[in-house]
Amino acid sequence: MGCFGDGGAITTNSLEIADKIFLLRDHGQKTKTEILCYGYNSRLDNLQAAVLNVKLRYLPKWIERRREIAEIYNNGLKDIKEIKTPFVRQNNNILMFIKIMFS
């Protein structure tokens, strides 16, 4: 999720992904003397953090709207044999940030 300028936020419910992101955001450092991978210097200023704090309140609504729009696309394209849309299981928590179609 982007903010006003050169910042953003990542959300996950995976501890494995979260651990990797924590490494990447601070030069790949586990401790000050233990570097596990190449990383970045990713710090937000106060303004960018404030923008993200406000946007996080709306995230569940935005995700639901993206799912609704993806369903509209799937229903509208399902009878076109040259286009194949991804199969999505019911009650799946897929985000639908990017709509993928195969032709």
**Cα distance between residue 66 and residue 1, in whole Å:** 13
**What's the predicted TM-score (pTM) here?**
0.58
Would you write out the chain's pLDDT as a tens digit for each of its 103 residues?
677 777 777 878 899 999 888 888 878 888 888 888 878 777 778 888 888 889 889 988 988 888 888 888 888 888 888 887 777 777 766 666 666 666 5
What pLDDT does residue 41 have? Answer: 76
**Cα four-point dihedral sign 57, 41, 36, 38:** positive
What pLDDT does residue 59 have? Answer: 86
Residue bearing tokens 């990797």: 20
